[in-house]
Structure 1
Amino acid sequence: MPKRLGVIGGLGPLATAYFYELICRMTDAGKDQEHLDMVIIGKSSIPDRTEYILGKSSDSPMPQIKESAKTLEIMGVDYIAIPCITAHYFYREISESIKVPIVHIIKETVRYLKERGIKNAGIMATEGTIKSNLFQKELHENGINPVIPSKNGQEYISDIIYKNVKAGMPVDMVQFKKASDELLNKGADVIILGCTELSLVKRTADIGPGFIDALEVLAMCCINKCERPVRKEFSNLIT
C-alpha cells in the first residue's frame, strides 16, 4: 500500500505550492501513478508565527495547526510535513497531539549538513526562527557552529520574506546579497535558506554557490519516507 503524505499548508501559500512542485520534480517518476499520494490542507488564515513568538500578537497559531494535523491524521496519512520552519517552534505540542510522525525540517537539514562535514552554517530565516534558536540549538547539538545575521542583516532578510515574497512583490536581490555576504564574511561554509519564503528566491534567481534550501531537504526526506525514489540530479542539495 503506497504511503500518503499530509501537508499543513498555507504558511505561506506560495511556499506550500512550491513544496508540492518540489515533491513532483524531485520524485523519480515516469507516470502519474508513480508520484506520491498527498493530502494538502491550505489554511492561510492561521495566525502569523513570528508575530506570536515575538510577543507582537496574542493570537496563537497553535490551535489551528493542531486542528489541521488532527484532520490529516483522520484522513489516514502516514507522515506529515509542515513547509513552514517557524511553525516548528510548536513541533513538540503538535506531535504530541497526534500519532502520525511529523517530518522535522530543521533536524533533517542539520543532519544533512553534518553528514557532509559542514562546520559553520549561516542562517537566513525569520526573526521568530532566529530569536527562538530553532536552528542554533540543533546545529550546536550536532557540532556545527551557527552563524547568525547582524541586526541590519536580519532586517534585510525580514524585508525579503514579508515585504517581497509574502506580499507578491519582486525580491530585492541587493538586500539578499548583502545579507548572505555578511554571513559568508563571518565564516559560514554554507548558508541555510531557513525560511520557506526564501526557497522561492532560489526558485526564481541565481543565488550562487554555498546555499542549502531546507525546503528541498524536507521534500527529499518526505519522498524517501513514502518509499519513492529521488531523482539523481537531486543527490547533492548544496549549491
Structure 2
Amino acid sequence: MENFFTIIGGMGTLATEAFVHTLNRRTEAHQDQDYLDYIVVNHATIPDRTAYIKDNSLEDPEERIIEDLKLQSQLQPKFFVIPCNTAHYYFEGLQAATEIPILHMPRIAVEAIKERFPESKRIAVLATEGTILTDVYRHELEAQGYECIVPNQALQNKVNDLIYHEVKENKNLNFELYTEILEEVAETMSCEVTILGCTELSCLYEEYNLDDKYNIIDAQAETVGRTLELMEKKK
C-alpha cells in the first residue's frame, strides 16, 4: 500500500472497533475499492493508562506504544491515529519516537467547538480519571480560550462506572446512565458543551444520537472527520 494510515488501537478493543466502524460508515463508498487503506494494530495487552497515571509503580504503557509506533513507522504510513484519549498524556514522547505525524485527538476535539458551537465558552469534559488528572483537555481548552469544567467526585464515579463496568467489562451501552450523566452536566453544571473525552463514551455516542438534545463534541467522531479530510474522503 502507498496511501494509507495506521491505527494504534486496543486501548480498548471495543473503542478501536467503534473508531473503525464510524470511519467506514462515514466514508463515501460505492464499491470495495472506494474505502480507505489502513492498518489496525489492536494491541489489547498494553497496560491500563489510567492505572499507571495513578500509580507509577505499575508498568508504563508508553514504552509499549512507542514500540508499536517504531515498528509501524517502518511501513511509512501517512499518519497515525491513537483512539485512546488518555494515551495522549504521552503525546510528546510518542511523537518524538517517530517522524510520522500522530493526530492529536483532544486538540482536534477542542478545535471543533469553534465550528460547531461558536458562542460557547463553558465546556465540560467527561473522561477517565487518568485523562482528568493529567489535564490533557484543560490545557487544550484554556489554550483556545475556553473554561474547562470537570465532574465532581460523585459524577466522576458515575462516569467511571459507565466506562469501566458497563462498556469495558460487560460490553453494555447503558443508555440510562449515559443520559443521566449528560443531563447532570447540562443542568447541574450549567455547561454549554460536553466533550466526550473517552473512546468508550464514543461507543455510546455512535449508538445513540442525542445531538438534538445535548451539545456534544465526541473526540473520536471528530478525529474520524479529520482522518477523512487527510485521506481526501470527506463527505
Judge same fold: TM > 0.5, yes or no: yes
CA distance in 1, matches of 2:232, 2:104: 17
CA distance in 2, matches of 1:74, 1:31: 30
State the 1:6 CA deviation. Answer: 0.5
Structure 1 match to 2:11: 11
Q: Count residues in correspondence.
A: 230
SS of the aligned residue for 1:122 comes to strand
Q: Which consecutive residues of structure 1, in runs of 5 or more, have no partner in the other structure? A: 232-239
Against the structure 1 CA distance between its residues 206 and 112, is the aligned structure 2 distance closer, same or farther, given a 3 Å change threshold? closer
CA distance in 1, matches of 2:81, 2:44: 16
State the 1:83 CA deviation. Answer: 0.3
The 8 Å contact of residues 2 and 226 in structure 1, kept in 2 or not, is answered as: no
Structure 2 match to 1:156: 158
Structure 1 segments, 4+ long, off by >6 Å, are none
1:196 alignment partner, one of 199, 222, 227:
199
The 8 Å contact of residues 11 and 43 in structure 2, kept in 1 or not, is answered as: yes
Structure 2 match to 1:127: 129
1:161-190 superposed Cα distances (whole Å, 9 cap, x missing partner):
000100134244343233222221222111
1:175 alignment partner, one of 156, 174, 177:
177
CA distance in 2, matches of 1:119, 1:71: 41
CA distance in 2, matches of 1:162, 1:80: 26
* 1:1-239 correspondence runs (5 A): 3-55=3-55, 57-116=57-116, 117=118, 118-185=120-187, 186-207=189-210, 208-228=213-233, 230-231=234-235
The 8 Å contact of residues 173 and 203 in structure 2, kept in 1 or not, is answered as: no
CA distance in 2, matches of 1:42, 1:140: 33
SS of the aligned residue for 1:212 comes to strand
SS of the aligned residue for 2:194 comes to strand
Structure 2 match to 1:234: none
1:188-234 superposed Cα distances (whole Å, 9 cap, x missing partner):
11111110000111223354432121111011101111222x23xxx
CA distance in 2, matches of 1:172, 1:218: 24
Letter of the structure 2 residue corresponding to residue 226 of structure 1:
M
SS of the aligned residue for 2:93 comes to helix
CA distance in 1, matches of 2:60, 2:15: 21
The 8 Å contact of residues 39 and 72 in structure 1, kept in 2 or not, is answered as: no
1:38-60 superposed Cα distances (whole Å, 9 cap, x missing partner):
01111100000000011165210
CA distance in 1, matches of 2:149, 2:94: 28
The 8 Å contact of residues 202 and 218 in structure 2, kept in 1 or not, is answered as: yes
State the 1:2 CA deviation. Answer: 5.6
The 8 Å contact of residues 165 and 171 in structure 1, kept in 2 or not, is answered as: yes
The 8 Å contact of residues 178 and 204 in structure 2, kept in 1 or not, is answered as: no
RMSD: 1.6
The 8 Å contact of residues 47 and 61 in structure 2, kept in 1 or not, is answered as: yes
